[in-house]
Chains A and B, each alone.
Chain A
């Protein structure tokens, strides 16, 4: 790698000054020193490129009578490169020199205009573009830039002239139509603006900012709904137009950072496709760079290409095993797809690389917990907490580890510490409340009525002391869940558990409401659909139950796999029974119930499906067939060594008495 010496770079102004006397009079008066910028934080490839450009210039300046065209080219190239890498002041100086030496070359004025525009010197930018247009009247890119800047400056008449010139020469120019549309808009000629924006959209990619202008125009025309739709379509993509000199400038870019910067900006704007392109460009500039490969991986993750992403992260790690973030993110991917051993390994490595990375250490412990290696997890977390006592994330993970190990009291103590932790950790506090609720629920299930602090350990004694001060703290799952939701209104699992807990207390409608909130975040959760439907049925909200079951069925039908099929089957059974036996006549639909039940019976014959068919047959008045089928179901139960339930016998009696069932809430 060639690194320019500091002496050589800083000597340029002096060399320049000595050489100016040898140039023609016109150039002597115009040339100015080019102050070299600090480049120590730049990557080697860029420094090398700039050093070469400066070296060429130096060589010319050291000649007794340098060729003016070549000198202009050398200044211009240096100015281009400085512009490319955002060294704006030296870029402007170099380009002004190039322009002075070669006033008939439009390139230098053009790049100077870009420089000025970037710097916010809009009038100067227009003046530079004036020179370009004077030299090349048909330079559409220069005309478009000039029009855009004039529009920014409020010079609408002048901008309009430029846009019209562009449009005359390139009738497909979206940029010109967009500009003319904005001028129409500013003149309140909304109909004309609308037409122009609509035409500007043609040939532009989806998500163009033209949607923004189109939407605002429709709003001014009173077409609010259309306006709202257009505004939603804006994905912030700029209108592009052919700009050869700018493209040429970009081609000079050997900086990985410039591409990564572009990619990072695209990522922030939610455009991973553009980000990927930029990161791949960066990779071309520096093929074995682990950071760039990591960024490619991140863009792939955003695009849902998890396998490719994983490969890129592994590639990045293979080059630099000490790079923490690919280790960490690879671990996350592995954990997500269930490779807990792999996740544990990479979280461990991330934590080894940066021992102060609490998050990596805690997730490492979490992976250990999920691998049932809870002793190791607890030890690790105690180490984290010894170094950073207030860490609520570590406390939370410690609680989870104890919970997984079955040490409920120790779990409660750790989780309580999360609640007592410093402010600013609402997510962790929400989860701690949730876990305390789970523990309280489990406690209730195992030892109904037993005190929450039943135990003999020192931890339990502490707990008992705390309980005396906070009687509700651990014993009331509902209170914990409400607090979890207060802290994190989008906490789906907390809503679901609260819904179930309320339903168990026969507060069915409240329960169903929380299950609905949970489903907003995970519409394909079969358990929650089932629980919500049962809550609504038990709460006598039959119509809502039917709607919910149908929505759930629809959401689940999009999924593939055995478990999804089983979930759909389950909801179908509930739906068929509701349609067959709802006490609300407006909900009952025997024919539909029968169709669903018979389809299920044909697909997978079972006692459960047979009973559902019987129920539907009774609803459509075919009591005899219903009774026969129900009897067969009971016989099958006995044949398998079981004893028919009272409900099953009762339903048989009903069919024999020509009565339908009006109790849809027995769950399959």
Chain B
């Protein structure tokens, strides 16, 4: 017999001593805008859009407790407004309290604004495990949006039955990856007319190989101040786990194509993922934000295989050539040059990264010149969303922040456990300025975030999931002109709608958006493309390039402040 010993030995690491600066996070002051009101205001209670994430805290500092949850904003009932699915944690050994449960809230938007109703029981979504993130797309091409949920110990696929309920089909469809998964994304990677699925996997942490990681250099299980000295482990204490790519057979059944697609070379601690055309060849590529491992950029070769261009792209490391603790990722044209740029959220003192797309798959780290780096030095960032918050015709950025160690302040970590979220206003030339007057006043421990026009007023609202705390919902009160292009119920979320590029020309400015199923951290934003058009009354031209159409669709001379839905 050639058996191994009963478990693989892991050396216990040299005790990490955490950073020693204790800086208090100060909530931003709400400075009145020109209209006298902050841009955003909390509307969760008013809209009935409330969710309290439960991390299942055990007192044993299981690494999974740091993950937090995500939110999927998607129109599951096809009534034209986006609903919300919040992913909850799960009970861990030592946890005492009510069983956490992920929640589906239906948006019944009416003349008085949105009104969300909890339809979780009706939906039959109840997986009982420890959830992480989610993503929505029409995987079985039946005209409604299905839901994929990542988790610690077995992912789940819920097929939308079209009557308000879902059917669990993860194992049946071959996507019940048992490993600890984080963010996921849908995209038609082989352009064969169905949605494929990329799932990031984090580390091989398990309840069984849970390690002791000290706070503040404790040697005997007690901190120097006499309090329990156990902290959450650094990801390096465990091994990274390879991600997975599942190819859809056209009927919503998936095959693990990771190796066949040449994506099996890396075993990194993956957390965030986006799918989009990064090199301008119209084939969707994959970008993964990894925690203390180099980020990954896989270029789609168009023949079913991918090439690892991570290092060559310049988007694997920071500007000094060092791997960072990548958490969330956003892909959008932030500098208005028509190319999709990358923003990766990172740990405190690393700063968030802005990789400007220089064309041909080359990215330049422009975090400091863009103005995004400095204000993020003290923050530990997770969710990130590009949105034209003030409707002035360029993409601003929302970033959700929160530390992973509840004792962060006490042990002298940089930043506190609860941190203010941030809005960065695009100054129009790829430079950003933090807007402390945006009204993002609640200070919690944020994780996943997503945007959608929940109140159907033409601007994007923000939903944030906070770890073991109530969520935040920020209703946008921008007053400028807008235009929205989506796909009709039945088409939204199809392989032809996800990954669509929408180019809009209005008021002398051209803007580009791509629809995306999966971005930020553990989350998904609306599948409708939203544009701010400032003072413009007319939209001169809208060009829509869909993945499966050879010729673009061109719409001319449309009124502003309209929502247009394309039908196949």
Residues of chain A having any CB pair with chain B under 8 Å: 37-38, 40-43, 85-89, 119-122, 152-154, 186, 209, 211-213, 215-216, 219-220, 224, 227-228, 231-232, 234, 236, 238, 256-258, 260-261, 263-264, 267-269, 275, 279, 290-291, 294-295, 298-299, 301, 320, 322-325, 328-329, 332, 335-336, 353-354, 357-359, 362-363, 365-366, 369-370, 388, 390-393, 396-397, 399-401, 403, 422-429, 431, 434-435, 438, 442, 487, 489, 493, 496-497, 527
Report B-chain residues with C-beta under 8 Å of the C-beta of A353: 220
The verdict on B236 contacting chain A, using a C-beta distance below 8 Å, is yes
The verdict on B7 contacting chain A, using a C-beta distance below 8 Å, is yes
CB proximity of A247 to chain B, nearest CB, Å: 20
Residue among B2, B129, B204, B292 facing the most chain A CB atoms (10 A cut-off): B2
The verdict on B162 contacting chain A, using a C-beta distance below 8 Å, is no
CB proximity of A444 to chain B, nearest CB, Å: 13
Cβ–Cβ contact A86 & B219, under 8 A: no
Cβ–Cβ contact B15 & A209, under 8 A: no
A427-B7 contact, Cβ under 8 Å, with A236-B323, A261-B19, A298-B13: yes
Beta-carbon nearest neighbor of B317 in chain A: A212
13 A-B interface contacts by CB (under 8 A): A41-B216, A41-B224, A86-B21, A87-B21, A234-B321, A236-B322, A324-B220, A400-B5, A426-B206, A427-B209, A428-B7, A442-B1, A493-B4
CA separation between A566 and B317, bound complex, in Å? 47
A220-B362 contact, Cβ under 8 Å, with A209-B321, A424-B207: yes
Report B-chain residues with C-beta under 8 Å of the C-beta of A211: 321
Cβ–Cβ contact A423 & B153, under 8 A: yes
Provide the B5-41 mask, 1 if CB < 8 A to any CB of A, else 0: 1111101111111111111000000000000000000
Report A-chain residues with C-beta under 8 Å of the C-beta of B375: 120
Beta-carbon nearest neighbor of B90 in chain A: A423
Residues of chain B having any CB pair with chain A under 8 Å: 1-9, 11-23, 64, 93, 129-130, 151-154, 178-180, 204-212, 216-217, 219-221, 223-225, 234, 236, 242, 264, 292, 311-312, 314, 317, 320-323, 351, 362, 364, 368-369, 373-375, 377-378, 410-412
A325-B4 contact, Cβ under 8 Å, with A87-B21, A388-B93, A424-B152: no
Report A-chain residues with C-beta under 8 Å of the C-beta of B130: 423-424
A215-B311 contact, Cβ under 8 Å, with A397-B6, A427-B7: yes
Which of these, A40, A153, A396, contacts B6 with CB under 8 Å? A396
CA separation between A152 and B368, bound complex, in Å? 5
Report A-chain residues with C-beta under 8 Å of the C-beta of B311: 215, 228, 231-232
Residue among B211, B362, B364, B369 facing the most chain A CB atoms (10 A cut-off): B369
Given contacts A329-B12, A396-B6, 14 further A-B contacts (CB under 8 A): A86-B412, A120-B378, A122-B374, A152-B373, A209-B321, A232-B311, A256-B217, A264-B16, A324-B212, A354-B212, A392-B208, A393-B209, A397-B7, A426-B204
CA separation between A542 and B14, bound complex, in Å? 50
Nearest 9 pairs of A and B residues by beta carbon: A423-B153, A212-B321, A154-B369, A120-B377, A209-B321, A393-B208, A231-B311, A424-B153, A152-B368
Q: Is the interface of A mostly helix, strand, loop or mixed?
A: helix
CA separation between A429 and B13, bound complex, in Å? 25
CB proximity of A426 to chain B, nearest CB, Å: 5
Report A-chain residues with C-beta under 8 Å of the C-beta of B8: 427
Cβ–Cβ contact B20 & A257, under 8 A: yes
Residue among B17, B154, B212 facing the most chain A CB atoms (10 A cut-off): B17
Which of these, B11, B154, B219, B377, contacts A332 with CB under 8 Å? B11
CA separation between A95 and B44, bound complex, in Å? 46
Cβ–Cβ contact A423 & B178, under 8 A: yes
Cβ–Cβ contact A215 & B312, under 8 A: yes
Which of these, A209, A234, A324, A422, contacts B221 with CB under 8 Å? A324
Cβ–Cβ contact B209 & A431, under 8 A: no
Cβ–Cβ contact B220 & A425, under 8 A: no
Beta-carbon nearest neighbor of B4 in chain A: A493
Cβ–Cβ contact B320 & A212, under 8 A: yes
CA separation between A269 and B322, bound complex, in Å? 9
Beta-carbon nearest neighbor of B412 in chain A: A41
Which of these, A291, A429, A438, contacts B217 with CB under 8 Å? A291
Cβ–Cβ contact B362 & A219, under 8 A: yes
CB proximity of B99 to chain A, nearest CB, Å: 14
CA separation between A268 and B291, bound complex, in Å? 12
Cβ–Cβ contact A291 & B15, under 8 A: yes
Report A-chain residues with C-beta under 8 Å of the C-beta of B3: 400, 403, 434-435, 438, 493
Cβ–Cβ contact A366 & B5, under 8 A: yes
Report A-chain residues with C-beta under 8 Å of the C-beta of B225: 40-41
Report A-chain residues with C-beta under 8 Å of the C-beta of B154: 423
Beta-carbon nearest neighbor of B361 in chain A: A219
CA separation between A618 and B182, bound complex, in Å? 63
Which of these, B6, B223, B321, contacts A369 with CB under 8 Å? B6
Beta-carbon nearest neighbor of A391 in chain B: B208
CA separation between A323 and B410, bound complex, in Å? 23
Beta-carbon nearest neighbor of A218 in chain B: B312
Beta-carbon nearest neighbor of A442 in chain B: B1
Report B-chain residues with C-beta under 8 Å of the C-beta of A324: 212, 220-221
Cβ–Cβ contact A86 & B20, under 8 A: yes
A295-B14 contact, Cβ under 8 Å, with A41-B224, A427-B209: yes
A264-B15 contact, Cβ under 8 Å, with A231-B312, A392-B207, A423-B153: yes
Cβ–Cβ contact A493 & B19, under 8 A: no
CA separation between A397 and B209, bound complex, in Å? 13
Beta-carbon nearest neighbor of A393 in chain B: B208
Beta-carbon nearest neighbor of B321 in chain A: A212
Residue among B16, B208, B225, B236 facing the most chain A CB atoms (10 A cut-off): B208
Cβ–Cβ contact B9 & A332, under 8 A: yes
A366-B7 contact, Cβ under 8 Å, with A219-B312, A323-B220, A497-B2: yes
Report A-chain residues with C-beta under 8 Å of the C-beta of B14: 260, 263-264, 267, 275, 279, 294-295, 298-299
Which of these, B11, B152, B210, B374, contacts A423 with CB under 8 Å? B152
Which of these, A209, A231, A320, contacts B220 with CB under 8 Å? A320
CB proximity of A299 to chain B, nearest CB, Å: 7
Report B-chain residues with C-beta under 8 Å of the C-beta of A267: 13-14
Beta-carbon nearest neighbor of A494 in chain B: B4
CA separation between A361 and B496, bound complex, in Å? 55
Cβ–Cβ contact B207 & A370, under 8 A: no
CA separation between A638 and B322, bound complex, in Å? 70
CA separation between A369 and B5, bound complex, in Å? 10
CB proximity of B500 to chain A, nearest CB, Å: 30
CB proximity of B239 to chain A, nearest CB, Å: 9
Cβ–Cβ contact A120 & B362, under 8 A: no
Cβ–Cβ contact B7 & A396, under 8 A: yes
A487-B178 contact, Cβ under 8 Å, with A209-B321, A359-B209: yes
Report B-chain residues with C-beta under 8 Å of the C-beta of A216: 312, 314, 362
Report B-chain residues with C-beta under 8 Å of the C-beta of A298: 11, 13-14
Cβ–Cβ contact A400 & B312, under 8 A: no
Cβ–Cβ contact A119 & B362, under 8 A: no
Cβ–Cβ contact A122 & B6, under 8 A: no
Which of these, B204, B210, B320, B374, contacts A238 with CB under 8 Å? B320
Report B-chain residues with C-beta under 8 Å of the C-beta of A424: 64, 130, 152-153, 180, 205-208
CA separation between A269 and B121, bound complex, in Å? 47
Report B-chain residues with C-beta under 8 Å of the C-beta of A435: 3
A357-B212 contact, Cβ under 8 Å, with A120-B378, A122-B368, A366-B5: yes
Cβ–Cβ contact B368 & A153, under 8 A: yes
CB proximity of A182 to chain B, nearest CB, Å: 8
Which of these, A43, A86, A213, A301, contacts B11 with CB under 8 Å? A301
Residue among B129, B217, B236, B292 facing the most chain A CB atoms (10 A cut-off): B217
A431-B179 contact, Cβ under 8 Å, with A154-B368, A324-B220, A391-B207: no
CB proximity of A125 to chain B, nearest CB, Å: 11
CB proximity of B66 to chain A, nearest CB, Å: 14
CA separation between A237 and B323, bound complex, in Å? 12
CB proximity of B40 to chain A, nearest CB, Å: 25
Report A-chain residues with C-beta under 8 Å of the C-beta of B351: 120
CA separation between A264 and B154, bound complex, in Å? 33
